[in-house]
Chain A
Amino acid sequence: MTEIPARGAAGGSQPVRSNTRSGKLAAAAARRLSALLLTVVASVVLGAALVRLAPGFGMDERQMDLRLNEESLAAMRAQGQSTGILTACRDYLSGLARGDWGVSVALGRPVRELMADRAGLTVRNLAGGLVLAWALSLAVGFALAVARRRAWDTSVTLLTGGLLCIPTGIVALVFLYFAAPSAWALAAVLFPRIFRYVRNILQDSARRPHVLAARARGCGRLALVWRHVSVPSLPELFALVGVSLSMAVGAIIPVEALCDSPGVGQLVWQSAMGRDLPVLMHATVLVAVVTCAANLFSDTARALVTREV
Chain B
Amino acid sequence: MMQTAARWTLLAIFLAMLGASAIAPWPYDRQFREETAAAPSARHPLGTDALGRDRLSRLLYGGRISILLAPAAALVSVSIAILMACGAALLGGWWERVASALIDLFLSLPWLFLLLAVRGLLPLNTSPGVSLGVTFALLGLLGWAGPARVMMAAAKRQLESDYILMARASGCGTWRLAAAHLAPNLAPVTLAQFWTTAPAFLLSEANLALLGLGIAEPLPSWGSLLRELSNVTLVPQQPWLAAPLVLLVITLGCCQLARAADEYSL
Contacts and interface: CB of A to CB of B under 8 A. Distances in A.
Interface of A: 35, 38-39, 42-43, 46-47, 50-51, 54-57, 59, 61, 64, 157, 161-162, 164-170, 173-174, 176-177, 196-197, 200-201, 236, 239-240, 243, 246-247, 249-251, 253-254, 257-258, 268-269, 271-273, 275, 277, 280, 283-284, 287-288, 291-292, 295
Interface string B212-228: 11000000000100100
B116 A196 contact: no
Contact of A51 (B116, B121, B252, B264): B121
Contacts of B166: none
Interface of B: 101, 104-105, 107-114, 116-124, 126, 134, 199, 203, 206-207, 210-213, 223, 226, 229-230, 232-233, 245, 248-249, 252-253, 256-257, 261-262, 264-266
A47 B114 CA distance: 9
Contact of A284 (B113, B245, B261, B266): B113
B256 A43 contact: no
A57 B122 CA distance: 8
Q: Chain B contact residues: over half helix, strand or loop, or mixed?
A: helix
A166 B207 CA distance: 10
Given A162-B249, A165-B256, A64 B113 contact: no
B183 to A, nearest CB: 28
Contact of A291 (B110, B199, B210, B264): B110
Contact of A176 (B203, B232, B253): B232
B122 A273 contact: no
Contact of B104 (A39, A55, A162, A271): A39
A254 B207 contact: yes
B234 to A, nearest CB: 10
28 contacts: A35-B104, A39-B101, A39-B104, A43-B108, A46-B109, A56-B122, A56-B124, A61-B124, A161-B261, A164-B252, A165-B199, A165-B203, A166-B249, A167-B223, A170-B226, A173-B210, A200-B264, A236-B266, A239-B266, A251-B112, A254-B112, A258-B211, A269-B116, A269-B211, A272-B119, A273-B213, A283-B113, A288-B105
Contacts of B210: 167, 169-170, 173, 254, 258
A284 B109 CA distance: 8
Contacts of B119: 272
A286 to B, nearest CB: 10
Nearest to A167: B206
10 tightest A-B CB contacts, nearest first: A272-B120, A250-B110, A169-B210, A54-B121, A165-B252, A167-B206, A56-B121, A177-B232, A165-B249, A250-B112
Contacts of A177: 232-233
B116 A165 contact: no
A113 to B, nearest CB: 21
Given A165-B248, A167-B226, A239-B266, A55 B108 contact: no
Contacts of B223: 167
Nearest to A242: B108
B113 A268 contact: yes
Contact of A55 (B116, B121, B207): B121
A165 B101 CA distance: 31
Nearest to A284: B117
Given A50-B117, A161-B256, A284-B117, 11 more contacts: A43-B105, A43-B108, A59-B123, A64-B124, A165-B249, A168-B207, A170-B206, A240-B266, A247-B110, A273-B120, A292-B108
